[in-house]
Structure 1
Amino acid sequence: MKIANGVEMLELAAKNMKGEPTSIYPILICDKETIILVDAGYPGQLEQIRKEVEKTGVKFETVNMVLITHHDIDHIGSLASIVKELPEVKVLCHEEEKAYIEGVKKPHKLAMLEANLDNLSQEMKGFYEHFKVGFEKARTKVDRTLKDGEELPYCGGITIIYTPGHTMGHSCLYFKESKTLIAGDLLMVKEGVLVKAPESINFNDELCLKSLKKLMQYDIENVVCYHGGIYSNKVNERINELIETLAQ
């Protein structure tokens, strides 16, 4: 689905932690010779990603960058497969995420489960083991790190917004020309309403609130959430409502 000039929203079929069907929404950025995939789905989704990219009229082999908003398994799951398929592709992320993506540091969610392993149900222990293997297989070398406020020269300018909280290196992308925000998991769309990611899946919920406040510096007409897709109804007003509610 075209969101703006050079910005396409992809849709991948997936299942949530309860095994229920859902969708996730990576982004494809196309600008002259530069083709950027934002986030890389769950493990085993390479072929889905390939098909979704090619639905836009772009050959999958022309993707030359993958930009990761943060290191959760549904965002890096197929990253190693993409890099193996496209050896020349460059992997980008915020500097705080590099060690997690490369496997030097233990992913936040995995560490939280491991710390409570003795108290987990058998089902959750099985989920932990599955999770652990997924992260091990997803480990990938990062070619370039990004900093807060850095501007990428594509589609009229893309600003990297460092928005820690969901993970410590989480970042959003802001397209100046189209006033579009790629929100990663800082925000979600649930039943047509823009909401904050629940506290239970955030590494630091207080930092999430600060990151939401940071978004108010930007004039946003469209926001694309990895979970829920696009939201375009008075975005800044809605974010401000979330901030006010959380600050009470």
Structure 2
Amino acid sequence: MNIIELPVEFTYEEYQYHLYPSLIELNNELILVDTGYPGFLPLIENAIEHKGYDLRQLKHIVITHYDDDHIGALHAFKGKYPWVTVISSEREAVYISGEVKSERLVQAEALLTQMPEEQKAFGQSFVDLLTSLQHIPVDQTVKDGEWLFDGACKVIATPGHTSGHISLILPELDSVITGDAAYIEDNGTDLLVANPQYCLDLPQAEKSLKLLKDLKAQHYYCYHGGTLHI
């Protein structure tokens, strides 16, 4: 069993950014955690192949929560690799499938009405992006404390950033995959709340961060910032 960090570099408005999806290798199969923005399918494919893996090994995709940078390429992944099982929490599944308007879109629409005129173009572009996201049914929903992949991985509820956010504990590797429940600043040595300005419930996000820290794992794989080795 192994966790592979997949640094994905991209340019936005002339600035360079990185995301860090995680890849779990288990029994010669691959489990991808989160899928990047829309259009990121080839970037993540290249990152996986660069690490020496074959996309035919990809068997599962775990979505930590509904946000454009986490589910953006999910529809494309499922279209190209239809055998893949998509997994999320019950709460996030209704947003991923499009059955219910996502919390993030509701938040973005509410913020748009409060923005000063000079910021409304940006706010509208974010609403338009969220509205354009393509949806697919979730194949398997999970709950807090549930074990996945023959007991190799435990689901832990880490709400706050979104209501149904989950993280993953991998005891054999003394590791946690945090999604957006935590992030690491550049060259940082501590876990912080990711994007607090977008948290739907900041006090709850702070509790979830404490929960993750209290696990005292040796390795924290953060979607924003990379990996913290303690």
Q: Deviations over 1:89-122 (max 9, x none)?
A: 1100111111011011222221112123334422
Q: Provide closer, same or farther for how the CA distance between residues 111 and 210 of structure 1 changes in structure 2, counting only shifts above 3 A.
A: same
Alignment partners' CA distance in 1, 2:32 and 2:50: 14
1:37 corresponds to 2:32: yes
1:148 corresponds to 2:144: yes
Q: Provide closer, same or farther for how the CA distance between residues 140 and 131 of structure 1 changes in structure 2, counting only shifts above 3 A.
A: same
Q: Provide closer, same or farther for how the CA distance between residues 210 and 19 of structure 1 changes in structure 2, counting only shifts above 3 A.
A: farther
1:11 corresponds to 2:7: yes
Give % identity: 33
Q: Which amino acid aligns with 1:72?
A: D
Q: Which amino acid aligns with 1:219?
A: K
1:64 corresponds to 2:63: no
Residues 90-109 of structure 1 mapped to structure 2, 5 A cutoff? 90-109=85-104
Residues 100-119 of structure 1 mapped to structure 2, 5 A cutoff? 100-119=95-114
1:227 corresponds to 2:224: yes
The residue that corresponds to 2:197 in the other structure is: 200
- Retained in 1: the 8 A contact 2:62–2:87? yes
Q: Deviations over 1:220-245 (max 9, x none)?
A: 00111100001113xxxxxxxxxxxx
- Retained in 2: the 8 A contact 1:192–1:231? no
Indicate the larger mover: 91-100 or 195-204.
Answer: 195-204
- Retained in 2: the 8 A contact 1:70–1:167? yes
- Retained in 2: the 8 A contact 1:181–1:224? yes
Alignment partners' CA distance in 2, 1:188 and 1:166: 12
**SS of structure 1 residue aligned to 2:88:** strand
Alignment partners' CA distance in 2, 1:41 and 1:172: 16
Alignment partners' CA distance in 1, 2:182 and 2:213: 13
Q: Provide closer, same or farther for how the CA distance between residues 206 and 118 of structure 1 changes in structure 2, counting only shifts above 3 A.
A: closer
Q: CA deviation at 1:6?
A: 1.6
TM-score (norm 1): 0.84
- Retained in 1: the 8 A contact 2:108–2:126? no
Unaligned runs of 5+ in 1: 234-248
Alignment partners' CA distance in 2, 1:182 and 1:47: 22
Q: CA deviation at 1:217?
A: 4.9
Alignment partners' CA distance in 1, 2:125 and 2:178: 30
Q: CA deviation at 1:14?
A: 3.1
The residue that corresponds to 1:129 in the other structure is: 128
Alignment partners' CA distance in 1, 2:111 and 2:224: 26
Q: Which amino acid aligns with 2:139?
A: D
Unaligned runs of 5+ in 2: none
- Retained in 1: the 8 A contact 2:2–2:173? no
- Retained in 1: the 8 A contact 2:177–2:220? yes
Q: CA deviation at 1:15?
A: 4.8
Query: What is the alpha-carbon root mean square deviation over aligned residues?
Result: 1.8
Number of positions where the alignment pairs a residue of Structure 1 with one of Structure 2: 224
Q: Deviations over 1:18-50 (max 9, x none)?
A: 763210011111111431111011000111111
**SS of structure 1 residue aligned to 2:107:** helix
Alignment partners' CA distance in 1, 2:103 and 2:16: 24
The residue that corresponds to 2:210 in the other structure is: 213
Q: Provide closer, same or farther for how the CA distance between residues 93 and 61 of structure 1 changes in structure 2, counting only shifts above 3 A.
A: same
Q: Which amino acid aligns with 1:12?
A: V
Alignment partners' CA distance in 2, 1:153 and 1:132: 33
Q: Deviations over 1:104-154 (max 9, x none)?
A: 122222111212333442232133213321x2x2x1110001111111236
